[in-house]
């Protein structure tokens, strides 16, 4: 099965929390439509083609969800609702509502290549390169972040539109913040033990050895 977390050379394919924060901060300096596009990728984990298929009607203000059509299914008309921050839902309606267009109009009229270029340009502008520096890096980062935030696996599967839960489970292979904190405590404990050993006075056994071997 395709590894969603690491490439063949072991390089990370997902964006970290810090990388996503930097990208979104830079996107906020671009046009409002670029910012909303990057935000949707970040908070829903949708594919770039799924984001480009969204309309104003897809952004449900009552439930505060973004309704995404799962485009990789064998048949059309399969949708999933992904919760979104209230601020983003309001911003999308503010930025994308046009008097000359209805709720069925697309939020972004870009081609897939244009959207890809806009996203990767922002990533490169903040110094992010590698396998994770693509729109799909947002999707993989969403999966890793959701798993390590304690979201149940079946819910992550639903939000990401995976047919097989074993695909979702691959995201558990990434090292999360909790694991790093545990490892940090281990390293700090080792350092503390070494410091205590340097400061400790000679033990009875060591003094006895010195007395026997002047």
Q: Looking at the predicted structure, is the pLDDT value of residue 41 above 60?
A: yes
Q: What are the tens digits of pLDDT across the range 1-19?
A: 567 788 877 788 899 999 9
Q: Looking at the predicted structure, is the pLDDT value of residue 210 above 60?
A: no
Q: Is there a contact between 145 and 156 (Cβ–Cβ < 8 Å)?
A: no
Quote the CA–CA distance of 77 and 206 in Å, as a whole number: 78
Structure letter (DSSP) for residue 3:
-
Sign of the CA dihedral with 154 first, then 156, 159, and 160 last: negative
Q: What are the tens digits of pLDDT across the range 51-104?
A: 999 999 999 999 999 999 988 766 788 999 999 999 999 999 999 987 666 678
CA angle 16, 9, 112 (to 5 degrees): 60
* Better-scored residue on pLDDT, 172 or 207: 172
Q: What are the tens digits of pLDDT across the range 95-149?
A: 998 766 667 889 999 999 999 999 999 999 999 999 999 999 999 999 989 988 8
Q: How far is CA 161 from the centre of its chain?
A: 15
Q: Is there a contact between 69 and 50 (Cβ–Cβ < 8 Å)?
A: yes
pTM (global) more than 0.75: yes
Q: Looking at the predicted structure, is the pLDDT value of residue 208 above 50?
A: no
> Distance of CA 213 to CAs 111, 113, 184, 202, Å?
83, 79, 41, 15
Which candidate, 96, 97, 63, places its Cα nearest to that of 80? 63
């Amino acid at each position: 099965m395709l590894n969603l977390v690491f490439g063949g050379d072991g390089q990370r394919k997902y964006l970290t929390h810090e990388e996503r924060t930097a990208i979104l901060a830079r996107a906020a300096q671009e046009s409002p439509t670029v910012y909303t596009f990057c935000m949707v990728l970040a908070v829903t984990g949708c594919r770039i083609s799924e984001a480009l298929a969204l309309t104003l009607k897809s952004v449900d203000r009552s439930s505060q969800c973004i309704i995404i059509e799962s485009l990789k299914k064998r048949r059309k008309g399969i949708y999933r609702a992904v919760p979104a921050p209230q601020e983003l839902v309001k911003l999308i309606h503010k930025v994308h509502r046009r008097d000359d267009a209805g709720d069925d109009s697309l939020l972004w009229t870009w081609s897939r290549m244009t959207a890809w270029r806009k996203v990767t340009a922002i990533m490169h502008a903040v110094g992010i390169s590698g396998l994770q520096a693509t729109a799909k890096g947002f999707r993989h980062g969403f999966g890793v972040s959701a798993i390590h935030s304690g979201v149940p696996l079946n819910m992550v599967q639903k939000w990401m539109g995976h047919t097989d839960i074993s695909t979702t489970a691959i995201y558990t292979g990434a090292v999360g913040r909790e694991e790093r904190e545990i490892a940090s405590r281990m390293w700090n404990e080792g350092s503390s033990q070494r410091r205590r050993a340097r400061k400790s006075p000679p033990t009875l056994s060591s003094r006895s050895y010195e007395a026997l071997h002047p």
